[in-house]
Structure 1
Amino acid sequence: MINRVGSRLNDLLFHLVMALLLVLLAWLSSRYDMQWDWTRQGSNSLNPASIDILRRTPGELSVTAYVGETAKLRDRIQRFVARYQHHKPNIELTFIDPLRHPDEARRQGISLSGEIVLRYEKREERIQKVDEEQFSNAILRLGRDNSYWIAGLSGHGERDLTGKANHDLGEFGQSLKQQGYQIAGLDLATSSGPPDNTALLIIASPIRALLPGEIERLSEYVAEGGNLLLLSDPDNWILGDLIQQLFGIEQLPGTIVDANVKALGIDNPAIAVVPEYSNHEATRGFNLLTLFPQSAALTLSEQRDWKATPLLRTLDKSWNETGPLSGEIERNPLAGEESGPLTIGIALERRHDDREQRILVIGDGDFLANSYLNNAGNLDLGLSLSRWLVGDDQLIGIPAPQASDRELHLSKLAIGTIGLGSLIVLPLMLLAVGAVMAWRRNRA
């Protein structure tokens, strides 16, 4: 009797201790968040460089993912962002279905399901895929304190970085502001040249020639290491002659027509499609299709002072049409019409003092205009090119974790042994065990 009571007391004490331990564990789990990543390559953890970026970005970070409500991508994004929230709890994740909220998606220039917009202290960045390197670098750019000044040349009928007309670049200028850049106009006729803090000068499709004094100031700006973005248009010889004079880049006559756009449901042949990009820092990680309406082809002479890279090229079945863009259009080699691929964007680089000078010449200004900015990946390309031009591309490299044991290599003997064991030996062993158990049961 005494032993039975003692046994019950022991059981009661054991269950009481277990209950107290469970309560203690629950309390500890609510107070302390501990995680362990047991994968060999740490594929479920953030890279130390990403963690350091989060520590240097103390403010609240807003993450908006434009994904459909039933998309499996939502779960993937949620798990991915949770890795960042573990180190930075003040990250707010929001999902918006672009199909149910098309106006919001259109206002943000969303062209791809799964696109993510990050906002921090009135600045924003966007990425196109769930990738730690892109996500962390976007946070890195958002957290930078330095501001870059971007000036747009004015006084010659250029596309205005603050203008609202269809041909202006006002929406692109607003996007640059949201990225943290400062925007200003520049009239070379009334100034001594771009201010010293100008990180980039944009010359977008002037329709009146620059005065000799303005060209001289512009040449001095280039000679002193200034960065330039030059946006030309078909048969715009005002800028075409200036580009050739300064950099030896020739603009071909006519407008590029592209037969490939029919496959995209576009009836206008004067829209060139660019689906792939050169292996260059300006387009690193960029993989969106872009559209270039009314663009001009460029050719490059031998460069001695500059490192030149053809950055944007059209596909085959394109050419520079010099005739009317109506009716039946066919390439006429006798009229100087060259077959594609054609170059419509050239990047120039050289060392100047202790830094790199960067020039970008594009034979199209419409792709960044208000009318076409939100087509395909035009906005994202414009922002990527701008970051490279101002030198805001000093990013971190985070290699994707690769498991070292994903493949199992077996010899033919090993494969045969496994097959023989699983198909013959193992079933015979199970039969033998069953027979022995039945024999022992019958004897009992």
Structure 2
Amino acid sequence: MAKKQRTQHPQQSPQTYAPLGLWLAGAATLATLILLLLKFLAYEGVYTPPDAKRFNLVMWIAAGLILVGLAVYALLDPQRTRQFIFGRQARHGSNAAITLVAWLGALIVVNIIAVQYPKQWDLTEEKKYTLAKETEETLDKLSAPVHAIAFYTSQSSPQDARELLENYKRSSNGKFTYEFQDPDQNPMLAQQLGISGDGKIYLEMGERHEIVSYASEQEITRALVRLMNPGERTVYFLTGHGERDIEGYGNDGYSKLSAMLEAKNYTVKSLPLLAEKKVPDDALAIIIAGPQHPVSQEEVDLLSDYVAKGGSLIVMEDPVPLTQFGDAPDPLANYLVTIWGIRLDNDIVVDTNSSSPLVPFGVDYSTHSITQKLRGIASFYPEARSVSLVENPPHAVDSLIRTLDRAWGETDFATLQSGQAAPNQESDIAGPITLAAASEDTTSGARVVVFGDSDFASNAYFDRYANGDVIVNAIDWAAEQENLLNLTPKDTIYRQLKPVSNVTLALVAILSVCIIPLLVIGGGVAAWISRRMRG
């Protein structure tokens, strides 16, 4: 009986598994490209990796696997590798593929290095993208890490803010980090941090915090200085005359303004001056917001003494017909016009440019510290009175906010009630109307800001347009918190393209349309003739 022969299975050669190396290199290349894309999206703020360090490690591993896969293929099938590199087909047809792979690998490595070790050069003449020396010194002196949360809605453009915050992060040696949040998608966080409106930046250092109203190097650096110098800053709201309630949550209340000031590290207190008989020593500013009854002469004398010693005052008085002043004298208004040259007119502003004529819009801002950053953003003042500046005032006075020309100050209140108001050149105040003014005594350091309205800062309107920024900036300026650090603003260099002469245009046209194509055609003809001659 014959023996049963065993089936001989051919032994698998190493070359059989060589393609696995190419598959590994291809998959690793795809993974690396995807990770580089995610890294770019993370840099732009579109994507946030759960673990940045692990993400970078995975990216490096994927890049390394490209080389591992190619090495595996070369080891398992050295003959084809040599043929691919040195063979006739490679010499005549594979150079382009090799060059492409080499360039692709080089680009991947260079991109990984660039992402891991970013370096920027500011080549602009005015060094537009370079932080000021004072800012870099402030970042060096940070005693604790600072985290910034920038609140931008989907309707806004955060790119400039992102670039600015990235500059801070890059110059901080790891002490400054930031993130972006959409207050519409995360309203609880915005409310918890005291954020109202778009474009605000919340800065946090330990248990201390500051809120920056808009993304600018000056504002952010000043906020950092305040975080490092956390002395108590107290402002007082005068009470006893029917003023706005700083704790009131209704539309007429000032709780939003109070919350914003507290979020900026202010201590906000009430001041019943008639009972206290003295302005507290720690008062950086006294705010008088919409009194319904006149402030007494005794109180005005106390306020006058306080201001004469370098104190600051913010006055917001509504039109007389909307209060209970009646025909009673107004000692506070008399003090403002006599000592500061700022007059609260007995009128109501009518603005025909507004859809509601009794809600004038402030659109013309001065270059004063309070309003210089607000250009292009309107503010409005429901049922306001005008503010006038006397000739030859005792101190320099700045008209902060004005309407357009078509507004006027109506003094005939009966015509307003009948709906027949029209500008009267003899009795009314012609536009443009000043809605707010500021003055400073450079000798004593005293500062005064006067508004002809208190509604604009109430809860009903605080978040609208630039209203909240106007009153917060005014308090910052009055409390002398706007100049803790002076940065020299960078001058914008405007460049104009000089028109090209007709002769130059003709030469460019001849060069591009005639000469270059003729050179290419001539080179081709010369090559063809040369080949024909060689046979």
CA distance in structure 2 between the aligned counterparts of 1:220 and 1:374, rounded to whole angstroms: 35
Higher helix content, 1 or 2: 2
For residues 239 and 392 of structure 1, do their structure 2 counterparts lie closer, same or farther at Cα, with a shift above 3 Å needed? farther
What is the number of residues matched between the two proteins?
A: 412
Where does residue 430 of structure 2 map in the other structure? 339
Moved more, 76-85 or 101-110: 101-110
Where does residue 276 of structure 2 map in the other structure? 191
Moved more, 403-412 or 146-155: 403-412
Question: Could you say what secondary structure the match of 1:260 adopts?
Answer: coil
RMSD (CA atoms) = 3.5
Q: Is the 8 A contact 1:219 1:246 kept in 2?
A: no
Moved more, 86-95 or 270-279: 86-95
For residues 68 and 334 of structure 1, do their structure 2 counterparts lie closer, same or farther at Cα, with a shift above 3 Å needed? closer
Where does residue 278 of structure 1 map in the other structure? 366
Aligned equivalent of 1:84, options 157, 160, 168: 168
Question: Could you say what secondary structure the match of 1:283 adopts?
Answer: coil
Moved more, 100-109 or 281-290: 100-109
Question: Could you say what secondary structure the match of 2:528 adopts?
Answer: helix
> Is 1:161 aligned with 2:246?
yes
Q: CA deviation at 1:311?
A: 1.5
CA distance in structure 2 between the aligned counterparts of 1:440 and 1:401, rounded to whole angstroms: 61
Where does residue 126 of structure 1 map in the other structure? 212
CA distance in structure 1 between the aligned counterparts of 2:297 and 2:224, rounded to whole angstroms: 44
Question: Could you say what secondary structure the match of 1:439 adopts?
Answer: helix
Q: CA deviation at 1:307?
A: 1.2
CA distance in structure 2 between the aligned counterparts of 1:192 and 1:253, rounded to whole angstroms: 30
Can you give the 5+ residue segments of structure 1 that lack an aligned partner in the other structure? 1-7, 12-17, 263-267
Where does residue 400 of structure 2 map in the other structure? 311
For residues 321-340 of structure 1, what are the structure 2 equivalents within 5 Å? 321=410, 322-323=413-414, 325=416, 328-331=419-422, 333=424, 336-340=427-431
Where does residue 294 of structure 1 map in the other structure? 383
Give CA deviations for 1:154-210 in whole Å, capped at 9, x if unaligned.
Answer: 122222333334323222112111111121221222224212221101112222344
Moved more, 405-414 or 178-187: 405-414
Where does residue 443 of structure 2 map in the other structure? 352
Q: CA deviation at 1:332?
A: 5.0
CA distance in structure 1 between the aligned counterparts of 2:224 and 2:514, rounded to whole angstroms: 58
> Is 1:53 aligned with 2:138?
yes
Q: Which amino acid is 1:161 matched to?
A: I
Moved more, 47-56 or 340-349: 47-56
CA distance in structure 2 between the aligned counterparts of 1:239 and 1:110, rounded to whole angstroms: 38
Can you give the 5+ residue segments of structure 2 that lack an aligned partner in the other structure? 1-81, 86-101
Higher strand content, 1 or 2: 1
For residues 430 and 134 of structure 1, do their structure 2 counterparts lie closer, same or farther at Cα, with a shift above 3 Å needed? farther
> Is 1:259 aligned with 2:352?
yes
CA distance in structure 1 between the aligned counterparts of 2:183 and 2:220, rounded to whole angstroms: 21
CA distance in structure 2 between the aligned counterparts of 1:426 and 1:250, rounded to whole angstroms: 74
Q: Which amino acid is 1:257 matched to?
A: V
Q: CA deviation at 1:133?
A: 4.2
Aligned equivalent of 2:333, options 240, 243, 262: 243
Give CA deviations for 1:361-386 in whole Å, capped at 9, x if unaligned.
Answer: 11111111122211211111111111
CA distance in structure 1 between the aligned counterparts of 2:456 and 2:316, rounded to whole angstroms: 10
CA distance in structure 1 between the aligned counterparts of 2:152 and 2:124, rounded to whole angstroms: 33
Give CA deviations for 1:399-435 in whole Å, capped at 9, x if unaligned.
Answer: 4476798857766554443333222222221111111
Q: Is the 8 A contact 2:152 2:158 kept in 1?
A: no
Question: Could you say what secondary structure the match of 1:352 adopts?
Answer: coil
Q: Is the 8 A contact 1:109 1:379 kept in 2?
A: no
Give CA deviations for 1:269-289 in whole Å, capped at 9, x if unaligned.
Answer: 321111221121222222221
Question: Could you say what secondary structure the match of 1:94 adopts?
Answer: strand
Give CA deviations for 1:323-381 in whole Å, capped at 9, x if unaligned.
Answer: 3645633215288332321122121211234xx21111111111111222112111111
Where does residue 516 of structure 2 map in the other structure? 426
CA distance in structure 2 between the aligned counterparts of 1:359 and 1:308, rounded to whole angstroms: 9
Q: Is the 8 A contact 2:151 2:183 kept in 1?
A: no
Q: Which amino acid is 1:117 matched to?
A: I
Moved more, 39-48 or 178-187: 39-48
Give CA deviations for 1:239-285 in whole Å, capped at 9, x if unaligned.
Answer: 854222343343322322222221xxxxx432111122112122222
CA distance in structure 2 between the aligned counterparts of 1:211 and 1:338, rounded to whole angstroms: 28
Question: Could you say what secondary structure the match of 2:230 adopts?
Answer: coil
Give CA deviations for 1:270-328 in whole Å, capped at 9, x if unaligned.
Answer: 21111221121222222221110121112232344211122122222222332364563
Q: Is the 8 A contact 1:309 1:346 kept in 2?
A: yes
Q: Is the 8 A contact 1:148 1:181 kept in 2?
A: yes
Where does residue 14 of structure 2 map in the other structure? none
For residues 325 and 106 of structure 1, do their structure 2 counterparts lie closer, same or farther at Cα, with a shift above 3 Å needed? farther
Give CA deviations for 1:209-239 in whole Å, capped at 9, x if unaligned.
Answer: 4444323212222322221001100015568
CA distance in structure 2 between the aligned counterparts of 1:56 and 1:367, rounded to whole angstroms: 39
Q: Is the 8 A contact 2:209 2:263 kept in 1?
A: yes
TM (norm. structure 1) is 0.80
Moved more, 146-155 or 235-244: 235-244
Where does residue 364 of structure 1 map in the other structure? 453
Moved more, 274-283 or 419-428: 419-428
Moved more, 102-111 or 249-258: 102-111
Question: Could you say what secondary structure the match of 2:481 adopts?
Answer: coil
Give CA deviations for 1:103-142 in whole Å, capped at 9, x if unaligned.
Answer: 8778966545xx132222443323445x444444444444
> Is 1:378 aligned with 2:467?
yes
Q: Is the 8 A contact 2:150 2:200 kept in 1?
A: yes
Identity, % of aligned positions? 22
CA distance in structure 2 between the aligned counterparts of 1:273 and 1:40, rounded to whole angstroms: 38
Where does residue 151 of structure 2 map in the other structure? 65
Where does residue 232 of structure 1 map in the other structure? 317
For residues 258 and 304 of structure 1, do their structure 2 counterparts lie closer, same or farther at Cα, with a shift above 3 Å needed? closer
Question: Could you say what secondary structure the match of 1:437 adopts?
Answer: helix
Q: Which has the higher contact order (CA 8 A, sep 6+)?
A: 1
Q: Is the 8 A contact 1:66 1:105 kept in 2?
A: no
For residues 8-23 of structure 1, what are the structure 2 equivalents within 5 Å? none
CA distance in structure 2 between the aligned counterparts of 1:299 and 1:177, rounded to whole angstroms: 32
Aligned equivalent of 1:148, options 233, 249, 256: 233
CA distance in structure 2 between the aligned counterparts of 1:75 and 1:348, rounded to whole angstroms: 36
CA distance in structure 2 between the aligned counterparts of 1:344 and 1:30, rounded to whole angstroms: 53
Question: Higher Cα Rg: structure 1 or 2?
Answer: 2
CA distance in structure 1 between the aligned counterparts of 2:398 and 2:494, rounded to whole angstroms: 37
Q: Which amino acid is 2:289 matched to?
A: A
Where does residue 50 of structure 2 map in the other structure? none
Q: CA deviation at 1:439?
A: 0.9
CA distance in structure 2 between the aligned counterparts of 1:30 and 1:320, rounded to whole angstroms: 62
